[in-house]
Structure 1
């Protein structure tokens, strides 16, 4: 007769201790507050579909037609031919040289995950900005890689601090990541900054990783998006993009990577990314038929999208200028603001209490990374101006009541 042993909880792997995602984790508290009958003003998730940003009709029609035509099984692992060709053609139009590969992922998130998984051994690292998009930190923790953050310079329009970046390179550094236009700051990087970063990668034999998912959402007339790959065709580079933001369909989960640089330097690495993509079969098949329609069809929507983003950024900038405990480097692209807060407590406590007391949901700056001793919050500026104005009034009330 077998003896029964006492059941014990299933233990998660040690690597999960450091896996966090600030944007979604705070939403758990919001659900609790909402369950008590409170109406939440959501300024936390970068999903244009939750606001007044309708999907361009021709993009929807392309996906619907693909479904009706029977393209509902698995697609090619690296992306269907029409999508891959459209991505390559657009990259060439934008000035990319030495294109060695294109691959389509389950959103840019899977493309990024596959790239880092194929690159990093446990204990190795890549240079990532601070503040950063939290996905990168979560993948780093999952892989058993080491965090290696360089600072963005708030006093210089949130441009990367290239000197700080280069100081942090060590024997186990494999790559250098930039996010341009930037999430969470809304910064758009200058040509001068990008050329300096490319030179660092060139001299230290690092892979460049450029997240450019917001490249078409630049609303400040003083700013222009430049792909770093176009400035450094001699440096191995993976550039990420997708349909989610500029084409307003984040739920379709269609993203991609474009690999550039000398074939002998990047092709062997790309082949290992392809191994991972073949193992998971394919990205969503029918939605890939929207890629060609999106990249080669009418772009009219981008004008009104950027006009709305500019107006909402102005509301945010004007509020910050009127609030003595808030200082904002005005965003120039994407749909985020990352103001600093003059508060005597940590910013997680600040946004949590703001949510509980005033029912406004922002995200704590420490969830993205920030310089020691500073406090920030990330604001999603997608809501209509009236909603933002209401939310900011409640934040100002909270600041006055709590700290004065």
Structure 2
């Protein structure tokens, strides 16, 4: 028997793991309502036509070979200009690396930064990729709590107390997946002061920065010129092109980390390049028509409001209204529910509604959650929430005195 490396034992990806059971049920003829994955293209959203045309033209014009390791010049230049537009100073095209999705960007940065045994402060709850990368790199992910009672913000005192000599970086997901929260500017300023004092690199995942409802988003790197910050973004979410795997990282205040930048560039060279034709969509995306975003958010706002209304009206469930993106973490406070993964699987088997268990993202000890993706059209959401409410009432609330 060939044994895999021990450090891979802790790699889990809850979002896809629960799909195996859904697929088994679907193969038996069950209809599954998928509220588990953040891919707008699974529903009634489409990639903007001018981006498809840009990729088509690139293929037609013969741009089908390897691209430069760090990305084609037009893409890197457009990303640098976008940074200037949103208030991040001093970014040059040479500070940009185009990657196979923001996931690869994170992996390149963390691989270049961390030695085995180093630690990174990670949001809890947080996107499962972060902890998976820690396991892959034999590094340690140290969770810091996002406070549900205060809109999923973070506690600067807790983060400061978690820092040790092995702490190299703090990772932010802002706007956040899985909660949909957006951090206030004052909180970010406090975090930057902590990073300054502790000598930390800030890794700022901002892939949802354009998918906002009412609250403004402040780019982390717009607030400091004396802290090393790497920002991550891409075309997957706001530009509805998940399958193209087009992301990037930006070294903000790159003068503070020339050796780290050089290390990432060497890693980028070693893996050759991100997909070439899709890179020709980056400049049209960032600098072309943007009308699809407000149109998308108008539909998403209505779906968000429906989700919040239905969840908060269901006994034993509650949710903090998301300020961005298309996710929410639903709190479970039902008699006998001590394992949210089993709750999600039972719900799936009985009703065909698929969520992702909160424990797959991390959560405060003693709490139970599930993540809902509210991308589907309102008739699908209504059907899913009808089934969820009936399941909760029939299984957990018979004979109890929870709210009616």
TM bracket (short chain): over 0.9
Distance (whole Å) between structure 1 residues aligned to residue 124 and residue 359 of structure 2: 10
What secondary structure does 1:20 align onto?
Answer: coil
Q: Does 1:244 align with 2:236?
A: yes
Query: What TM-score does the superposition give when structure 1 sets the normalisation length?
Result: 0.96
What secondary structure does 1:90 align onto?
Answer: helix
Distance (whole Å) between structure 2 residues aligned to residue 167 and residue 399 of structure 1: 39
What secondary structure does 1:55 align onto?
Answer: coil
8 Å contact 1:234–1:262 — kept in the other structure?
Answer: no
Q: Does 1:335 align with 2:326?
A: yes
8 Å contact 2:84–2:90 — kept in the other structure?
Answer: no
Q: Deviations over 1:283-326 (max 9, x none)?
A: 00000000000000000111111111111100011002211211
User: 1:385 is matched with which residue?
Assistant: 378
Query: Which of the numbers 63, 74, 85 marks the counterpart of 2:66?
Result: 74
Distance (whole Å) between structure 2 residues aligned to residue 311 and residue 119 of structure 1: 42
Q: Deviations over 1:176-197 (max 9, x none)?
A: 1110110000001111111111
Query: Which of the numbers 349, 352, 362 marks the counterpart of 1:369?
Result: 362
Distance (whole Å) between structure 1 residues aligned to residue 28 and residue 108 of structure 2: 40
Distance (whole Å) between structure 2 residues aligned to residue 267 and residue 297 of structure 1: 32
Query: What TM-score does the superposition give when structure 2 sets the normalisation length?
Result: 0.96
User: 2:263 is matched with which residue?
Assistant: 272
Instruction: Map 1:24-63; keep pairs closer than 5 Å.
Output: 24-63=16-55
Q: Does 1:193 align with 2:187?
A: yes
Q: Does 1:235 align with 2:227?
A: yes
8 Å contact 2:236–2:243 — kept in the other structure?
Answer: yes
Compute the displacement of 1:262 (Å).
5.3
8 Å contact 2:120–2:142 — kept in the other structure?
Answer: yes
Compute the displacement of 1:98 (Å).
3.2
Instruction: Map 1:213-232; keep pairs closer than 5 Å.
Output: 213-219=207-213, 221=214, 223-232=215-224
Distance (whole Å) between structure 2 residues aligned to residue 169 and residue 178 of structure 1: 15
What secondary structure does 2:320 align onto?
Answer: coil
For the aligned residue pairs, the C-alpha RMSD in angstroms reads 0.9
8 Å contact 2:356–2:370 — kept in the other structure?
Answer: yes
Q: Deviations over 1:121-156 (max 9, x none)?
A: 111111110000000010001111112010001011
Structure 1: 4+ residue segments shifted above 2 A: none
Structure 2 residues without counterparts, runs of 5 or longer: 398-404
